[in-house]
Each structure stands twice: as C-alpha cells, then as structure tokens.
C-alpha cells in the first residue's frame, strides 16, 4: 500500500509538468525559515493547477481544480489531505495565476512586496468517506490517504487559532491557514 502511494505521488510529480501548459519555479536560497522551493504547473486543458512546496518535512502539495471548484492541500508531515471549496473572489483564476507568479518572481517580491491575500479554513474532524464528490483530480491525489473537509471562516483572525493551524504560503500570492483539532501535530 505504501509503495502504491509513493509511486502515485512520484508519477504525479513527474507527469504533471509534462502535461502542463507552463511551469513556474521559485527558489528560496536563504532557506532558514523560508519556504524552500515552490513550483506551479498549470494544465489549461483540464483546468487544474498543481503547486508543490519542497521544504523537507514541511513540504506540501496543493491542487486547484477549477472545473470542480475544489482545491486540496496535502501536507506531507500530517499524512492527510484537506479539501476545500475554492473562493474564486480571493484565489486567482487559472489565467491570472501564471501572470501573478511570474510578476512576483521577476520583481523579486516576497517579504518586501505587497501582502498576499489570506484565507482561513476550519478543518472538520470527520474523515471524508466519498472522494468522488470532489472530482477526479482530488480522488487521484488523495485516494488511500485520510481526507478531511475544510470550510472557510469568513472574517476570521489567526489570533483565535494560534497553535492549531497549518499555514500554506503560495508564491507570495495567497496564504491559506488550515485550523482545528483534525490537524494532528
């Protein structure tokens, strides 16, 4: 079972760039406290963006399925998947994602640039039983992995959830915080 999961993950990592319409990579050479290396692969034909953050044990993978309207984040340290509805008012469109990432990379933005948009989600403690409701891309990424549903908390403040959040910073564009007891440390 572990071999199947590892094989599927590696297959996804190697196949995604070959099927993508474009790739963007951003390195954080001063890795202490940084985000390691991030890459974005976008497949316009299928309406899917894949964001990989490679930073040792704090690595994660995120998939945005614009067709189904769902996104999933898989923090490797947590050994789980967290699915949430995409907030299209905050998350960039598939067309804008390329432009924003390239613009921020070329202008050297990061900590010095404008603050990224933020989303805060509450992760529900019950495991999801039926991944099919989220679309084929989510099923492929999370099959065999404990999966939880997260709901956006409107107007929330991270001060209320200081030690119960897993934070995902995507290319200086978007910060996503996943908060609640379901996220075991």
Mean pLDDT over each residue of the chain, to the nearest integer:
77
Is there a domain that residue 167 lies in?
A: yes
Q: How far apart, in whole angstroms, are the C-alpha atoms of residue 72 and residue 136?
A: 12
**Do 26 and 37 meet the contact criterion of CB atoms below 8 Å apart?**
yes
Full domain range(s) for residue 97: 36-107+115-180
Is there a domain that residue 95 lies in?
A: yes
pLDDT, residue 66, reads: 95
Is there a domain that residue 23 lies in?
A: no
- Reply yes or no on whether the pLDDT at 131 is more than 90: yes
CATH code for the domain in which residue 160 is found:
3.30.390.150
Selected residue with higher pLDDT from 78 and 100: 78
How many distinct structural domains can be found in the chain? 1
The pTM for the full model equals: 0.74
Residue with tokens 């999966």: 147
**Do 41 and 12 meet the contact criterion of CB atoms below 8 Å apart?**
no
Is there a domain that residue 53 lies in?
A: yes
Is there a domain that residue 31 lies in?
A: no
Is there a domain that residue 14 lies in?
A: no
Is there a domain that residue 27 lies in?
A: no
Q: How far apart, in whole angstroms, are the C-alpha atoms of residue 38 and residue 31?
A: 12
């Amino acid at each position: 079972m572990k071999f199947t999961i590892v094989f599927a993950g590696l297959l996804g990592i190697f196949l995604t760039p070959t099927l993508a319409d474009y790739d963007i990579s951003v390195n954080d050479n001063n890795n202490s406290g940084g985000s390691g290396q991030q890459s974005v692969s976008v497949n316009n034909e299928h309406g899917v963006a894949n964001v990989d953050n490679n930073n040792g044990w704090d690595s994660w993978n995120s998939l945005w399925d614009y067709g189904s309207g769902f996104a999933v984040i898989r923090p490797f340290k947590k050994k789980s998947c967290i699915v949430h509805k995409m907030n299209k008012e905050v998350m960039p469109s598939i067309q804008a994602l390329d432009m924003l990432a390239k613009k921020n990379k070329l202008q050297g933005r990061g900590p010095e640039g404008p603050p990224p948009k933020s989303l805060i989600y509450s992760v529900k403690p019950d495991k999801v039983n039926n991944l099919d409701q989220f679309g084929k891309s989510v099923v492929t990424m999370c099959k065999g992995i404990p999966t939880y549903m997260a709901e956006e908390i409107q107007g929330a403040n991270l001060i209320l959830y200081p030690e119960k959040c897993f934070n995902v910073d995507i290319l200086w564009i978007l910060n996503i915080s996943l908060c609640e007891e379901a996220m075991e440390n």
